Structure 1
Amino acid sequence: MKSTTWTIPQQIAASLCLPLIVLILLGVVSVHNAANLLEISEELKQDYRVLSELDELHGHFLDAETRQRGFVITGDAAFLEPYELALHALDGDYEELRKLTRSNRNAQDRLDRIRPLMRDKREEMRLTIEQRRREGAEAAARMVADGRGQRIMDEIRAITAELRAEETRLLAAREAQASESERRLLATLTAGSVFTILVVAGIGFVIIRGINRRINTATRRIESSATELQAAATQQAQGSKEQATTSSEVSTTMKELLSTSHQIAESTQRVTQIAAETASAARAGDDTVRRAREGIVAVERQVEKIVMHMIDFGKKSQQIGGILQIINELAEQTNILAINATIEAAGAGDAGRRFGVVADEIRKLADRVGGSTKEIRTLIEEISAAANTTVIATETGSKAVDASARQFSEVAASFLQISELVSSTAEASREIELSTKQQATAVEQVNAALLDVARTARETEASSSVTLKTSSELAALSKDLVRLIQRPERA
């Protein structure tokens, strides 16, 4: 079964999940307790308002009763305006109490009992004031003294006392509930916070320990790889320097070989030109033989011309022999340079393998040039021999025309052979010229390839230096990272 390795961001995200869940649960419980506490607070506010309204109701009754007795005693109409205001306020207090206690059935029943008492009390006070206006203070005092108004007020006080007692009891219970809710909310927040801190601290310790261990392992691997890279870069830089030096030496050798190839090409071109001139001379001799056929009479005049041509032909044959000697020497020098280039290419290793192949081809071409020069030398010797035979034949013909006539066929055959040999010489010269041109082109290509190799070697050397510097910096950075991560060992 393949094991799964979590990345550092995944571990941190996973470590935040449990504290996040705890905080969410803590938030839900806290919100629930806070809502409950708010609800209890609203109920407490309502209870306090009920008690306040009861106090105001009782106070307005006392104020109305006081103003009523002041008017009865003094008859001053100034007491009636506050009296009317107090009665009007009583209605507002009663309606506010019914609104505040609409969810309390017992309070609504008690308020229903107070309502007729309030009407009776107001009627009693109204009659007392009317009695004071009609019959005077004594009649009004007698009405007050009968105790009817006092009994009504006692009943109202008793009912309001019951309401106050019940509201006080509800207020105490709700205050206890509020205290309990506050205690639960505080305990929940405290326990949840402590648990979250402990969980985060534990998970953080485990994750930091694991991350430290993984980073420590990675830095050690980086340090090892940096050391290996530094050693490889050093070796590569040394190899690049050696390769650049070898490429420079081989490039110098190829320049010398290119110069020799150009000399061979120039000499071969001269050989070709001489061969063309020789062919022209052979064609002229053939024309002379043709004219000799037209009349034996002109043989004597043509014999002298033929002798001159043969002498010139001999001189040109000697020139061709000298040029062939030069070509032979150049071929030998090319062969020696090709052998040296092959040795240098073998020493250069893989970088000089292609150059070795080209050098071997040059050596083979030099061998072919040497062989061709030998063949040309043989042909020239044959041409010289044929020319000598022709000269002897022409001298004999000048002494005896009849003998020349009989040997005419031999002369024609000799000129035909000379023409063929000259054609062969010209063809061989053209092949040598083509071969030398190919050789020069090949040497130029090899020289260009060597320049590319040298440039690549220099670039490789520069790249190796950069790699060596980078590997050294990487090794230093890995050591610094190890020092930062690892804990100092206690002595």
Structure 2
Amino acid sequence: MTQTSYLVAHSYVALDHLSDLISELADAESDTRGFVITGDESHLESFSATEALVAKSLKELRELTADNAAQQKRIAALEPLAAAKLAHARKNVELRRQNGLDAAIKMVQSGEGKRLMDRVRELTGQMEAQERSLLKLRADEVEAAAGSARSIIVLGTLFCLVFVSGAGALLTRSLSTQIAAAVQHVQRSSTELQSAANQQAAGAKESSTSMTEITTTISELLATSRQIAESAQRVANVADQTANAAGAGEGTVRGASESIAGIRQQVDLIVNHMLELGRKSQQIGAVLDIVSELAEQTNILAINATIEATGAGEAGKRFGVVADEIRKLADRVAGSTKEIRILIDDVRGAVNTTVMATETGSKAVDAGARQFSEVTAAFRQIASLVATTTEAAREIELSTKQQTTAVEQVNLAISNTAQATRETEASSGQTYQTASQLAGLSRELLRLVQPQAVV
């Protein structure tokens, strides 16, 4: 239809050019006749332009009818006629200019110009008839093509409707079955997810309780360490006073005897504190074992939750992020537990060192008490022992300060662990809420896909 429409337009253009050619030759004849009758040169102003237009129209007609052999033959006969018609007109003009009106009228009356024009009209009429015949033939072709197109469109539309209806029913049945199976799988996954979230919440709650107990124990240990530091500082002060009093005579010796008794009490107190600190360290180690086990269980739950979220596809992506955060928190708890265990081992080592130093000081004090009767001879020895005691007290003070710092670090780590446990508990609640929403969405989707399957 498109090609035929193009050919119809092509024929109309050819008809327009034929009409233009006749009009241009008639204009040339009219201009010549006006000049012959009046002798006015103004009638010839458009003559040259008319000749150019005639040549252009003939050229375009030849191009437009290049696919039609009969039309090409007519154009081949038309071109010399048009040229002869224009040459006759130019000759008539020259004759009017040179010989006057009578000679020009005689040439007009000879009928040569009319004969040429009639032949031109005959040929253009034949070409026009040919083009109009082609137009009628192409119009019939367009009508036939339009009828075929309408039939094809109607039949094709009916076939497409039947095909689309069948395919739609088949796809709907298949998709409904697949979606229902997927929704049931999502429901099972959401149920398992809720169960895992409950277990995780319970574990997080136990971890939070254990962290609270550990924090309390660490706080007591920190207070004990500060007391030990203060006691060690007092021991150092007493030792300094004893060293100064050693060279001041019997009165100073009696004061030194009392100071030594005080030192022995302080040493016993230090020993008691050190033993208590050792027991607290053991308790902390036991609590850390519980925390480490909880961290491992939390990590296992997080891995299982990540696996379930991966199996849930797009719907479990959000839960997968939460499970990954829980696993990271569990890893942080495990790392912090290891650091705490190292610090506790350091504390135990410091306690053992302190106990050994304290026992050494206690033995030195006992030896000084037994030999106190030999006051005069033993002053130097007492001063030396006091100096040793002072050094040990300073070491005790330094160790207790280090121990206090370590306990503060342990306390900070425990606080971070408690915070992580609280975040884990909050994440567990969010996980449970997400699982509940997922279960509700799956039920709603199942009701949309299979209304009869939902009660």
Provide the residue aligned with 1:473 in structure 2: 447
**Are residue 463 (structure 1) and residue 437 (structure 2) matched?**
yes
CA–CA distance in structure 2, aligned partners of residues 436 and 330 of structure 1: 14
Q: Which amino acid aligns with 1:450?
A: T
CA–CA distance in structure 2, aligned partners of residues 197 and 361 of structure 1: 79
**Are residue 310 (structure 1) and residue 273 (structure 2) matched?**
no
Which of the numbers 414, 426, 436 marks the counterpart of 2:401? 426
**Are residue 234 (structure 1) and residue 234 (structure 2) matched?**
no
**Are residue 207 (structure 1) and residue 207 (structure 2) matched?**
no
Which of the numbers 273, 281, 289 marks the counterpart of 2:234? 281
**CA-CA distance at 1:343 after TM superposition:** 4.4
**Maintained 8 Å contact 2:361/2:389:** yes
Query: Where does 1:131-210 land on structure 2 (aligned, <5 Å)?
Result: 201-210=154-163
User: Cα distance 1:392–1:210, how it changes in 2: closer, same or farther (>3 A)?
Assistant: same
Provide the residue aligned with 1:321 in structure 2: 274
Q: Which amino acid aligns with 1:268?
A: L
**CA-CA distance at 1:234 after TM superposition:** 1.8
**Are residue 219 (structure 1) and residue 172 (structure 2) matched?**
yes
CA–CA distance in structure 2, aligned partners of residues 346 and 204 of structure 1: 61
**Are residue 261 (structure 1) and residue 214 (structure 2) matched?**
yes
CA–CA distance in structure 1, aligned partners of residues 292 and 147 of structure 2: 90
**Are residue 399 (structure 1) and residue 352 (structure 2) matched?**
no
**Maintained 8 Å contact 2:194/2:436:** no
**Maintained 8 Å contact 1:334/1:363:** no
Provide the residue aligned with 1:301 in structure 2: 254
**CA-CA distance at 1:376 after TM superposition:** 0.6
When the two chains are superposed, the root-mean-square deviation of aligned CA atoms in Å is 3.4
Query: Where does 1:360-375 land on structure 2 (aligned, <5 Å)?
Result: 360-364=334-338, 365-366=340-341, 368-375=343-350
**CA-CA distance at 1:315 after TM superposition:** 3.1
Q: Which amino acid aligns with 1:232?
A: H
Provide the residue aligned with 2:42 in structure 1: none
Render the CA deviation track for 1:271-298: whole Å, top value 9, x for unaligned.
2222222222223223314423663454
Render the CA deviation track for 1:66-96: whole Å, top value 9, x for unaligned.
xxxxxxxxxxxxxxxxxxxxxxxxxxxxxxx
**Maintained 8 Å contact 1:257/1:334:** yes
**Maintained 8 Å contact 2:247/2:379:** no
Render the CA deviation track for 1:378-419: whole Å, top value 9, x for unaligned.
312321321331242255245322322344234213311221
Provide the residue aligned with 2:363 in structure 1: 388
**Maintained 8 Å contact 1:247/1:454:** yes
User: Cα distance 1:203–1:357, how it changes in 2: closer, same or farther (>3 A)?
Assistant: closer
- When the two structures are superposed, what TM-score results if normalisation uses the length of structure 1? 0.52
**Maintained 8 Å contact 1:233/1:465:** yes
Q: Bigger CA drift: 303-312 or 194-203?
A: 194-203
Gaps of 5+ in 1: 1-16, 22-190, 480-491
Q: Which amino acid aligns with 1:222?
A: L
Q: Which amino acid aligns with 2:348?
A: T
CA–CA distance in structure 2, aligned partners of residues 399 and 288 of structure 1: 21
CA–CA distance in structure 1, aligned partners of residues 151 and 293 of structure 2: 83
Which of the numbers 308, 317, 336 marks the counterpart of 2:289? 336
| Higher Cα Rg, which structure | 1
Secondary structure of the residue aligned to 1:295 is coil
Q: Which amino acid aligns with 1:369?
A: I
Provide the residue aligned with 1:446 in structure 2: 420
CA–CA distance in structure 2, aligned partners of residues 375 and 279 of structure 1: 14
Q: Provide runs of 4+ in structure 1 moved above 4 Å.
A: 193-201
CA–CA distance in structure 1, aligned partners of residues 218 and 239 of structure 2: 31
**Are residue 247 (structure 1) and residue 222 (structure 2) matched?**
no
User: Cα distance 1:435–1:196, how it changes in 2: closer, same or farther (>3 A)?
Assistant: closer
CA–CA distance in structure 2, aligned partners of residues 236 and 362 of structure 1: 33
Q: Which amino acid aligns with 1:288?
A: Q
Q: Bigger CA drift: 219-228 or 453-462?
A: 219-228
CA–CA distance in structure 2, aligned partners of residues 196 and 343 of structure 1: 75
Render the CA deviation track for 1:438-482: whole Å, top value 9, x for unaligned.
21x222222222123212221221222123113313422799xxx
**CA-CA distance at 1:255 after TM superposition:** 2.0
Query: Where does 1:29-48 land on structure 2 (aligned, <5 Å)?
Result: none
Paired-residue identity, %: 9
User: Cα distance 1:308–1:409, how it changes in 2: closer, same or farther (>3 A)?
Assistant: closer
**Maintained 8 Å contact 1:237/1:465:** yes
**Maintained 8 Å contact 1:338/1:363:** yes
Render the CA deviation track for 1:339-377: whole Å, top value 9, x for unaligned.
431442254142453354244235421353145224313
Question: Across the two proteins, how many residue pairs are aligned to each other?
Answer: 291
